[in-house]
Homo-oligomer: A and B are copies of this chain.
Amino acid sequence: MRPKHRLEPLLNPAAIAIVGASSNPARIGGMPIAHLTKFGYAGQIYPINPKYREVFGLRCWPDIEALPAAPDLVVLALAAPDVLPMLRRCAAKGVRAVIVYAAGFAEEGEKGAALQAELQAYVATTDLVVAGPNAMGFANLNSQAHTSFASVFNTAPMQAGRGSVSLLTQSGNVCAAVYAIARRLGVDFSHFINTGNEACVDFAQYLEYLAQDAATEVCMGYIEELRDGPRFIAAAEEFARQGKLLILYKAGETDKGSEAVRSHTSALAGDRAIYQAAFRQLDIIQAHDFVQMAQLAHLAGYRHRSAGKRVAIITISGALGAILADKFIAAGLEVPTLPQALQDQLRAGIPDYGMVTNPVDVTGNVVNDPGFVRTAMRALAQSDAVDCVVIYAPGYLLDRMADDLCAVSAQYPRLFVAIDTGAAQTREQLRAGGVPVFEDIGVASAALAPFLLWQERRRHKRWRALRAQAAPQHQALPAVLDEYTTKQLLARHGVPGAGERVATTADEAVAAAQALGYPVVLKVCSPDIAHKTEAGGVRLRLQDAAQVRQAFDEVLSSARRYAPAARIDGVLVARMEAGVAELIVGATRDPVFGMTLTVGLGGVLTELYQDVSHRLLPVDEAIAREMLQELKAYPLLTGYRGRPHADVDAACAAIAAFSCAVLALGAQVAEAEVNPLLVRQQGQGVCMLDALLIPA
């Protein structure tokens, strides 16, 4: 058996002490005790306060030293200055874990930051697990171990049975808000966790606990900033490996939003696009809304049914079918036209003014022929042309179909989903029968689309498999990193170079040009000059020896004027190349996720339209192809409007080779870029026109 996780005493304690206990259930020292007693926690509860003999009918202890045994967990309802002395006393007593409510640490200026550093330094010398500070506390809804002062447990209805959805947020208020919404939808919880300042335990450590926690099958999370990227990635991979579902909302979706988050947590919000790429590669569903997140948690209960992105829509109204198709397609799903044989089967029970293509409009007539519903649903449950069936029928019409839907759902694994904008009596029957029910079209598509796309992606676990294999050969960085040596290095990993030579005299330059063939390009070759054009260090379209000689002199003199102290290794002579398109292929080090790869078409419009694709490394040829296909400008590579087809295969191979090169260089490199990578016509390959490596 696996040993217990070190957060176990924090999140599943057998005995809890509350220092600063109060008999007032509205105060932070009273509320957790009120919850523990009211909701039936079976473990030991030790209120501690020298002012009281008894609170909530429990014996109150004068101090921690007086307790008959060391509790697993101590909750500190104390002000910031009193925290550290009490931590020392907890450690002396043999306590395993502590929750610190107090604000006044890193979120509050320099003085608070110093106090937090002191706390961290002390805890590092002990075995204590310390949550917070500036946290609202936790709740284990299966054991009813309540350690929070969240008033939401007084207002939202408590679940009747066990739950398997955990909530993990970097804000106490968000934790409470999402809990309230999800409870209204009937989501049953395992853990309620908010992380506060994460002085000693960060988001990724809680996530790691939940990945191992047998009671947790789904986690809804809210992130402002990740502190430990590798640990987060490992925890997310464990979720995926176990088929558990991770739904995350990342704050900072616009710049103003990011700014507010920055002030709030004194932390930089990571780059939106990188988070998005990472979530996708890690099989995480990214939510953008609390209601959507809660609906996803609800849907997650149906994740073992068979589903994917091709949806059949069944309605009693052509208009509503069209609206649903609109929403689904806009959200990335497919609404494929049904095969003719299936259409013929459906037509047998649908009047002429109905539709059978998809959306299927069975018309209001369906009520007169109940046998047809079961036949139609059975046919849809068996068809290879769709992955999921969505039925829109308001109130009483859904009620008439409910028995048939449940019967078909019991017989076949395919996911059926119902949308009822009326007031069907059979909603609970359907949900229990394996058919989730939504009350609104917009809400349904906002939750269904990412859920079905997640189901679809689970079939394609390429990246995580690739990552497991990747063990790159270490490669030392050359001493001098000019354009020529950089290209040579990348070329050794398989990124194709162009024909080019370094010349140190005009004669050598002419000889190189003649060997390569005119027209040629001359570029100054220096590890110290990154912006060669600005330095006057580039001459294009040179047609003969005379032009090469003149250019050689101009390039060197311009470069020397521009950067007198620069080391100049000579002049690069290269064939003047032409192709179908130019790509930019770059790698940058994200502070959270490590090396990430970016691909886009070169040029100023790509920047204005933000038309780029990101992935965490490694990237193989198949992932490179996905990245190119994601670009809006991708048609420029595939014969758009009579243009020649570009050598996409060679481009993908070059991108994968670039990924290998960057992994091999490891921590030595801060940034790497091929810009542009010239893509020639199909069959004619690609080549680097320029390349850059910035050491770490």
Q: Which residues of A contact B (CB under 8 A)?
A: 103-104, 107-109, 112, 151-152, 155, 170-174, 176-177, 180-181, 222, 224, 251-261, 263-265, 288-292, 316-323, 325-327, 329-330, 335, 352-353, 355, 357, 359, 361, 394-396, 421-423, 440-443, 604-605, 608-609, 611, 632-633, 635-636, 640-641
Is B608 in contact with A254, judged by CB distance below 8 angstroms? no
Complex-state Cα separation, A224 to B317, whole angstroms: 13
Is B318 in contact with A260, judged by CB distance below 8 angstroms? yes
Complex-state Cα separation, A423 to B443, whole angstroms: 21
Task: Give the residue name and chain of the B residue nearest to A634 (CB).
Answer: B608
Q: Which residues of B contact A253 (CB under 8 A)?
A: 326-327, 330
Report how many copies the assembly holds.
2
Q: Which residues of B contact A641 (CB under 8 A)?
A: 604
Is B640 in contact with A604, judged by CB distance below 8 angstroms? yes
Is A257 in contact with B103, judged by CB distance below 8 angstroms? no
Closest chain-B Cβ to A213's Cβ sits at a distance in Å of 25
Is B256 in contact with A329, judged by CB distance below 8 angstroms? yes
Is A421 in contact with B260, judged by CB distance below 8 angstroms? no
Is A442 in contact with B636, judged by CB distance below 8 angstroms? no
Q: Which residues of B contact A174 (CB under 8 A)?
A: 317, 319-320, 323
Task: Give the residue name and chain of the B residue nearest to A319 (CB).
Answer: B171
21 A–B contacts, CB within 8 A, in A order: A152-B422, A172-B317, A174-B317, A174-B319, A177-B422, A222-B319, A252-B322, A253-B330, A254-B329, A256-B329, A256-B335, A258-B322, A260-B321, A261-B318, A263-B318, A264-B319, A289-B442, A604-B641, A605-B605, A605-B633, A608-B633
Check A319/B257 contact, CB under 8 A, given A151-B396, A394-B176, A635-B608: no
Task: Give the residue name and chain of the B residue nearest to A336 (CB).
Answer: B256
Q: Which residues of B contact A288 (CB under 8 A)?
A: 442
Complex-state Cα separation, A112 to B320, whole angstroms: 22
Complex-state Cα separation, A257 to B423, whole angstroms: 26
Check A173/B422 contact, CB under 8 A, given A254-B329, A330-B253: no
Task: Give the residue name and chain of the B residue nearest to A335 (CB).
Answer: B256
Complex-state Cα separation, A321 to B256, whole angstroms: 10
Q: Which residues of B contact A177 (CB under 8 A)?
A: 320, 394, 421-422
Complex-state Cα separation, A263 to B363, whole angstroms: 14
Check A441/B289 contact, CB under 8 A, given A352-B109, A394-B176, A608-B640: yes
Q: Which residues of B contact A292 (CB under 8 A)?
A: 442
Partner of A173, one of B264, B289, B319, B359: B319
Task: Give the residue name and chain of the B residue nearest to A359 (CB).
Answer: B260
Q: Which residues of B contact A327 (CB under 8 A)?
A: 253
Check A353/B103 contact, CB under 8 A, given A177-B421, A256-B325, A604-B640: yes
Partner of A322, one of B260, B330, B353, B357: B260
Q: Which residues of B contact A632 (CB under 8 A)?
A: 608-609
Complex-state Cα separation, A605 to B181, whole angstroms: 43
Is B318 in contact with A264, judged by CB distance below 8 angstroms? yes
Closest chain-B Cβ to A293's Cβ sits at a distance in Å of 10
Q: Which of A151, A173, A258, A611 has the most CB of B within 10 A?
A: A173
Is B605 in contact with A443, judged by CB distance below 8 angstroms? no
Closest chain-B Cβ to A325's Cβ sits at a distance in Å of 5
Complex-state Cα separation, A320 to B176, whole angstroms: 11
Partner of A108, one of B171, B181, B264, B352: B352
Check A353/B104 contact, CB under 8 A, given A171-B317, A394-B177, A423-B155: yes
Closest chain-B Cβ to A425's Cβ sits at a distance in Å of 11
Q: Which residues of B contact A361 (CB under 8 A)?
A: 264
Known: A181-B421, A260-B318. 8 other contacts (CB 8 A): A173-B320, A251-B319, A251-B322, A254-B326, A254-B329, A257-B325, A260-B359, A264-B361
Is B257 in contact with A326, judged by CB distance below 8 angstroms? yes
Is A251 in contact with B604, judged by CB distance below 8 angstroms? no
Complex-state Cα separation, A322 to B253, whole angstroms: 9
Is A180 in contact with B319, judged by CB distance below 8 angstroms? no
Is A326 in contact with B176, judged by CB distance below 8 angstroms? no
Is B326 in contact with A251, judged by CB distance below 8 angstroms? yes
